[in-house]
Every structure is written in C-alpha cells, then in structure tokens.
C-alpha cells in the first residue's frame, strides 16, 4: 500500500522516469509532446489570471504563446504524417501531474502562488528537456518528427533559464 502510493507519487513527479527511448513509438511521442505543451498552457492561463507580479504574468503569457505555437507545429506535422497521437502512461502521468499542480496552485495566493508556479515551471522545463534528450529525440523514428523535437528544444532551454531568473527575483519578494 505504502509502496504503491510512493510509486504513484513518483510517477506524478517524474512522469518520464520509467520510460526508455526504445519503448516509445512516434504516435506515443506525439501524444506526449501535445500533452506536455497543453499542461504548461493550462498552468500559464491560471498564473496569468491569478498572479499579481508583472514579471510572472509576462512569463505566464509567454508560456501560453510559445507552447501554443509549438503545439500547432506538432499537430500540423502529426496530421501531415497521418499519425494519431496515442495515449500512453507517460502522457497520462503528465496530464495527472498537470492537474495536481493546478489544484495545488488554486489553493495559493500572492507571493506564495508566484513561488509555487515558478518553482514548478523550473522543474517542469528541466524534466521536458531531459525527456527530449533521453527519450523523445532518440526515440523518434520519423525524420520530420525528430527534426521538430530538435527544433523545439532551444525554446524549452530559454524558458528554463527565464524561469530560473524569475525564481531568484520572486524569491526575494517574500
């Protein structure tokens, strides 16, 4: 019982931890990419409406814009390749992790909200970059899908850097 709770908790925190590049196919990668972007768009929407810090709000707006653009490119490509995104344990746990994050954020206000949102953004972008490097890019078999993932990576790196800067500036707030 205790162990299974831990496993579930671990999966929510590190949705990519038990997957390898060999185990994912392109349809699953498509689903993971779309879910990962959507989760961050949803968090961005909440932060945009709830944060009172201008820098945090601007960052949240950027996350909505950039991840929407990335998702548009991903869904366009998936349609062109005639791949149907296939639900899988990684996208499910990403989804569950995103919902858990939103539920937690909804309980917070002010500086505590900003801190929790930004901390999660740092963690989230780091996890997605790791997943791109270890699972998604090496796992993609279609050349165009692989190229898209490689093209997307620098945006996640820039977002991570941006979130880390916010982390040190909002950390001083309270």
79-115: burial string, b at 16+ Cβ within 10 Å, e else: eeeebebeebebbebbbebbeebeeebeeeeebebbb
- In the complex with another protein, the residue whose CB is nearer, 71 or 93, is 71
CB 120 → another protein: shortest distance, Å? Answer: 20
CB 38 → another protein: shortest distance, Å? Answer: 16
- In the complex with another protein, the residue whose CB is nearer, 42 or 66, is 66
Distance (Å, rounded) from C-alpha 14 to C-alpha 8?
Answer: 10
CB 155 → another protein: shortest distance, Å? Answer: 6
Cβ–Cβ contacts within 10 Å for residue 165, how many? 13
- In the complex with another protein, the residue whose CB is nearer, 45 or 153, is 153
CB 59 → another protein: shortest distance, Å? Answer: 10
- In the complex with another protein, the residue whose CB is nearer, 43 or 64, is 64
CB 109 → another protein: shortest distance, Å? Answer: 26
- In the complex with another protein, the residue whose CB is nearer, 19 or 149, is 149
Q: Which residue ranges make up the site for another protein (CB under 8 A)? A: 62, 65-66, 69-70, 73, 151-152, 154-155, 157-158, 161-162, 165
């Amino acid at each position: 019982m205790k162990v299974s709770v831990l496993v579930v908790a671990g999966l929510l925190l590190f949705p990519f931890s038990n997957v390898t590049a060999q185990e994912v196919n392109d349809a699953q990668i498509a689903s993971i990419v779309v879910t990962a972007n959507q989760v961050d768009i949803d968090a961005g929407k909440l932060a945009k409406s709830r944060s009172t810090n201008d820098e945090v709000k601007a960052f949240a707006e950027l996350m909505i814009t950039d991840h929407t653009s990335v998702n548009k490119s991903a869904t366009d490509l998936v349609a062109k390749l005639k791949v149907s995104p296939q639900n899988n344990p990684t996208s499910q746990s990403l989804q569950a992790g995103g919902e858990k994050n939103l539920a937690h954020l909804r309980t917070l206000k002010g500086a505590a909200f900003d801190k929790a949102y930004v901390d999660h953004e740092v963690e989230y972008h780091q996890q997605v970059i790791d997943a791109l490097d270890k699972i998604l890019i090496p796992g993609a078999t279609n050349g165009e899908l692989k190229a898209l993932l490689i093209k997307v990576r620098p945006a996640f790196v820039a977002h991570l850097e941006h979130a880390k800067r916010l982390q040190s500036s909002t950390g001083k707030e309270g």
